[in-house]
Amino acid sequence: MHSITAKEFTLFSQFIYDYAGIDLSPAKQTMVGSRLSKRLNYYQLDNYHQYYDLVMSNNTPGELQMLVNILTTNETYFFREPKHFDYLTEKVLKRWSGEKFRIWSAASSSGEEAYSLAMILAESLSHRPWEIIASDLSTQVLAKAQQGVYLMDRIELLDQHLLDKYCLKGVRSQEGTFRVDEKLRKHTRFGQVNLMKPIPASIGMFDVIFLRNVLIYFDTETKKAVVERVAKKLKPGGLFFISHSETLNRVTDVLEMVQPSIYVKK
């Protein structure tokens, strides 16, 4: 099996751009080849073009979703960018007096962000009603998120009090892992959402939306379309969080900056 060529890389990069809006730079060519090599081995194919043709033929049910999973999987961890969780606690939840509080983790990956939010809401809102909707394009990471089982090395920023209160440490064959407690999992629902398509009405409206560490993969036009599509699900006065490495400057006038990486819907 040869290395992925520039022409073959273009086939996959164009596919994921059309399907998910993700703009893969040429610098990702080696990474894409490495990730896809296992599928070539699985089907005993000689080159990446053959795999592309196999996926597009629709003769292998589920392989297109497998390709999407491979090209969109990203690393995350508990309480990533902790200042956002501090802001949510101090500026929003301590003052909350409304009805059921709803947050959408719109690019939830394997669930660490959603469960971090769940811990914050459980601590701050006591017995008041709250709900987290968490979505991603990859069915692989969603399946992991629903299980709520993680390696202990994902908890560098997780406070010991929260770990003890909301996580169950694995023993014997499960040593080195932990599972998020059921009392958090029952408030957290995971589902597949493609942010490039209309958002299902059934998802409802939200007080806060987290869309972090995903806009960096979009070009300006796609970024604007995705942000405005997602923001339609944010209540007026609701907060919209993006990553510290991202900005909405010159992207949309639907949201107004509160401080860098935190926006409010007008």
Give the pLDDT confidence of 11-59 residue by residue, as tens digits.
999 999 999 999 999 999 999 999 999 999 999 999 999 999 999 998 8
Question: Is this prediction's pTM over 0.85?
Answer: yes
Average pLDDT of the residues in 170-184: 91
Position 213 pLDDT exceeds 70: yes
**What are residue 214's phi and psi, to 5 degrees?**
-130, -30
Position 1 pLDDT exceeds 90: no
pLDDT tens digits, one per residue of 113-162 = 999 999 999 999 988 999 999 999 999 999 999 999 999 877 888 999 99
Distance CA 66, CA 70 (A): 6
Active site residue 164: no
Q: Pick the closest to residue 34 from 60, 68, 10, 70 (CA basis).
A: 70
Whether 210 and 106 have beta carbons less than 8 Å apart is answered as yes
Identified catalytic residue from 18, 53, 95, 136? 136
Cβ-proximal residues to 150 (8 Å cutoff; 6+ apart), any chain: 78, 110, 112, 177, 178, 179, 180
Given the DSSP bridges, would you call strands 206-210 and 101-105 parallel, antiparallel or unpaired? parallel
Q: Pick the closest to residue 209 from 246, 241, 172, 243 (CA basis).
A: 241
Mean pLDDT of the chain: 94
Active site residue 136: yes
Q: What is the pLDDT of residue 108?
A: 95
Q: What is the pLDDT of residue 4?
A: 96
Which strand (E) or helix (H) includes residue 67? helix 63-72
Q: Given this chain, do its domains 6-72 and 82-265 carry the same CATH topology?
A: no
- Calculate the CA dihedral of residues 72, 141, 105, 156 and round it to 10 degrees: -100
CB atoms within 10 A of CB 11: 17
Identified catalytic residue from 35, 128, 154, 229? 35
Helices (runs of H) and strands (runs of E) counted in the chain? 10, 10
Q: For the chain, give every domain's residue range.
A: 6-72, 82-265
In CATH terms, is domain 82-265 a member of 3.40.50.150? yes
3-state helix, strand, coil in the chain (%, to 5): 45, 20, 35
Average pLDDT of the residues in 60-65: 92
Distance CA 115, CA 41 (A): 35
Topology adopted by domain 6-72: Chemotaxis Receptor Methyltransferase Cher; domain 1 (1.10.155)
Average pLDDT of the residues in 74-83: 90
Q: What is the pLDDT of residue 157?
A: 87
